[in-house]
Structure 1
Amino acid sequence: MNSLFPAMAAAGPMAAAWTAHTVWMRRRLDAARRDPLTGLHTRAAFERRAMRALAKGPHVVLLLDLDGFKKLNDTFGHAAGDEAIRSTAASLNDTLTDRPGSMAARLGGDEFTAIVPLPNAAVLPWLLGGLHGEITAPFAYRGRTLAVGASIGAALTAALPTPSLSLALRRADEAMYAAKRSGGGWQVAEGTEPLPTVNGRRAGRSGTHGGA
């Protein structure tokens, strides 16, 4: 019996060290799934979690791209562009904070996506209008006040034949480019079937980041 106590005392620090190591590993894995500039999910992490979420009920899938981002980069430098990216991520987080189950990601460049549980589609215009207003609000950078535009496309999973993430992203992509062609703002995909062509989007998408 006396030998049990020293053994237990020796096991205590080992258990604590193992727990700390487990916490450290989890943090490292979570960091690997996050975009280093914005802290949002990366594409791969977003897709894994979003596919599971869409199976649980109606959502809206959003795709957004900044307008005037290349001009801002060229005029004020890449650091200003990075600040615009961070500001956009903060706007996404602010808009989605009060909507449990929402998730946002940076797909790359100045393109972002998000999924939002949406049992009532009637609130979608307020969601999109609020998000667009947040993103396009001026932000401070080294004593200057800068701003970018945004084009947002939305696809309701309830309007799709199946709650497919790839199909929802394609429909949101089409709506986003329709908004961009109209000068920015937001647009909701209409109908259930994707268009015959999507300007090369979803299949290579060369030259689509950091656009006009």
Structure 2
Amino acid sequence: MSAVLSTVVAAAPVAAGWSVHTVWMRRQLSRARRDPLTGLPTRALFETRARKLLSRGSRAVLLADLNRFKELNDTFGHAAGDAAIRATGRRLARWALDHAGTAARLGGDEFTAVFTVGGESHLRTALTDLAERLNEPVPHQNAQLPVSASIGAVVAAGPGTGLPVALRRADEAMYRCKRSGWDWCIGHGNVPITGEQINGRRPGRVGATRPEGRQP
């Protein structure tokens, strides 16, 4: 018995060491899967989660890109740009959580999310809410940074709408928003894209009306 006890006692530090090493490895792996600036999942982790969500149906995919980000960097400095990116990441992550989804930063000032939708009306309401959150100024030092985003979304339904196709359609909708000055646009495959602008949000478009389902 004493020999067995001696073996266990001798092995304890080794086991403890492996335990610490395992925890350290898991933390390193978790960090590698996270964007260091925002803490959001990287593309690889996002794609894994997104595919699982899309397989359950009733999901939409979006891409969001900050407007005039280079101008913000040039005017307020790169630290301000980082603050805008961090704030956008936090806001998008909370919004995605509210809609049983997941979000990620793809790089630069571009973000993506997969989320649950309950129909066209719910999608419009959700995108309007997200635009309001992303368009709020970001406090930085003694300034309020002007931040806004263009959002493109597509409902991922049917076997032909996997993640790559949905991301491509969302990307097309997003750039349509940028060209049109809208806050968000919805793409429906070959059906014309619809969009909406929140009243007074877009620079140079103050006082504009808030159309429902406005089409280009």
- Normalising by structure 2, we get a TM-score of 0.82
Correspondence list, 1:127-138, <5 A: 127-138=126-137
Aligned-residue offset at 1:103: 1.3
Contact 2:131 2:149 in 1 (8 A): yes
Which secondary structure does the structure 2 equivalent of 1:79 belong to? helix
Aligned length: 193
Alpha-carbon shift at residue 177 of structure 1 (Å):
1.1
What residue in structure 2 maps to residue 183 of structure 1? 181
Higher relative contact order (CA 8 A, sep 6+): 1
User: Unpaired segments of 5 or more residues in structure 2?
Assistant: 194-216
Asked whether the equivalents of residues 34 and 40 of structure 1 are also in contact (C-alpha less than 8 Å), the reply is yes
Point out 4+ residue stretches in structure 1 off by more than 3 angstroms.
119-122, 191-195
Spell out, residue by residue over 1:87-127, the C-alpha distance to the aligned partner (whole angstroms, 9 max, x if none). 10011122123333x21111111110011133544321121
Moved more, 4-13 or 30-39: 4-13
- Aligned runs of 1:111-150 on 2, under 5 Å? 111-150=110-149
Give the Cα separation in 2 of the matches to 1:118 and 1:130. 13
SS in structure 1 opposite 2:103? strand
* Pairing 1:108–2:89 present: no
Contact 2:96 2:114 in 1 (8 A): no
Percent identity at matched positions? 51
* Counterparts of 1:95 and 1:154, CA distance in 2: 14
The residue aligned with 1:169 is: 167
Letter in 1 for 2:87: S
Q: Using the alignment, how far apart are the partners of 2:44 and 2:91 within structure 1? A: 22
Distance 1:119 1:17, change over 3 A: farther
